[in-house]
Structure 1
Amino acid sequence: MKASARNQLFGKVTDIRTGAVTVEVTIGLKGGDTLVSSITIESAQSLGIKNGDEVLALIKAPFITVVKDFGGYRLSARNQLKGTVKRIEKGAVNSEVVIELAGGDSVAGIITNESVESMGLREGDTASAVFKAGSVILGVKA
């Protein structure tokens, strides 16, 4: 499959929680990290998602917030994947920051050059890719 979403993570469904309107799907990644996707009940039924299924999680890079230091704050975003800054590619206005996770997966975020500088973000730093569960699109093999 080809997709425009920069982040394409494969994992296994470890939990499904159905609410009134949405379904929360927890996915285990190969390095032990987990991510959560919030999709509509209709989408979950259409995809036929069940525990143990292999899924593809798609997250667009602009939906990723890069956090170097939480400063004692907790965030409402369910997904907070901690890793090592593998690469920072600066553009005219924005930078692509690639964070390598424990299992070898990478997550790329697009942030402003000003943010890179104000955080003092450098390759090799520890940082987290933070994103809301509603930003995660799921795919399954047909």
Structure 2
Amino acid sequence: MQSSARNQFPGTVSHISHGVVTDEVQIRTEHNAQLVATITHGSAIGLGIQAGSQVIAMIKAPSVIVVTDAEGMRFSARNQLTGKVTQVKTGSVNTEVCIDAQGLQVVAIVTNDSATHLGLEPGKTATALFKASQVVLAVRA
């Protein structure tokens, strides 16, 4: 499978809560990180997603929010992966930030101003946040 989503995390569905319109899917990645996706009930049925299913969770880099100094803060984003910045690539407008969090390499795109304001550099602790609704699930055909 080829996709433009920079973040692709294989895992196993550990739990699924079915709703009338949407389902909440909990995924344990190969690196034992826990992710949550909210997908339509029709998609869950169509893809045959159930507990034990192998899935790939995909999140586009611009959908990832980077937070530093998050001690004592709570966020509404269900997916929160804390780790160390491993790479920072500055472009003319945006900066690509890689965070090694729980064995996952999470890529985010932030503005250059945000990267400067947050003091993003290799070795800095940062948290990658993304909403469950921003996670797209794929299954092998």
Same fold at TM > 0.5: yes
Instruction: Give the letter aligned to residue 12 of structure 1.
Output: T
Hey, what does 2:138 align to over in structure 1? Answer: 139
Per the TM alignment, residue 100 of structure 1 is displaced from its structure 2 partner at its CA by 1.1
Per the TM alignment, residue 30 of structure 1 is displaced from its structure 2 partner at its CA by 2.3
1:16-31 to 2 correspondence within 5 Å?
16-31=16-31
TM-score, with normalisation over the residues of structure 1?
0.95
Q: Deviations over 1:71-99 (max 9, x none)?
A: 53211100001111110000011100011
CA distance in 2 between partners of 1:71 and 1:30 (Å): 27
Hey, what does 2:72 align to over in structure 1? Answer: 72
Hey, what does 1:116 align to over in structure 2? Answer: 115
Superposed CA RMSD: 1.0
Per the TM alignment, residue 120 of structure 1 is displaced from its structure 2 partner at its CA by 1.2
CA distance in 2 between partners of 1:140 and 1:52 (Å): 12
Answer yes or no: is the 8 Å Cα contact 1:88–1:96 preserved in 2.
yes
Q: Deviations over 1:24-43 (max 9, x none)?
A: 00000122211100000000
- Runs of at least 5 residues in structure 1 that lack an aligned partner in the other structure: none
Answer yes or no: is the 8 Å Cα contact 1:98–1:108 preserved in 2.
yes
Per the TM alignment, residue 18 of structure 1 is displaced from its structure 2 partner at its CA by 1.1
- Runs of at least 5 residues in structure 2 that lack an aligned partner in the other structure: none
1:3 match: secondary structure: coil
1:13 match: secondary structure: strand
Q: State, as a whole percentage, how many aligned pairs show the same letter.
A: 49
TM-score, with normalisation over the residues of structure 2?
0.96
Q: Deviations over 1:56-82 (max 9, x none)?
A: 011000000001122532111000011
Hey, what does 2:98 align to over in structure 1? Answer: 98
Answer yes or no: is the 8 Å Cα contact 2:81–2:102 preserved in 1.
no
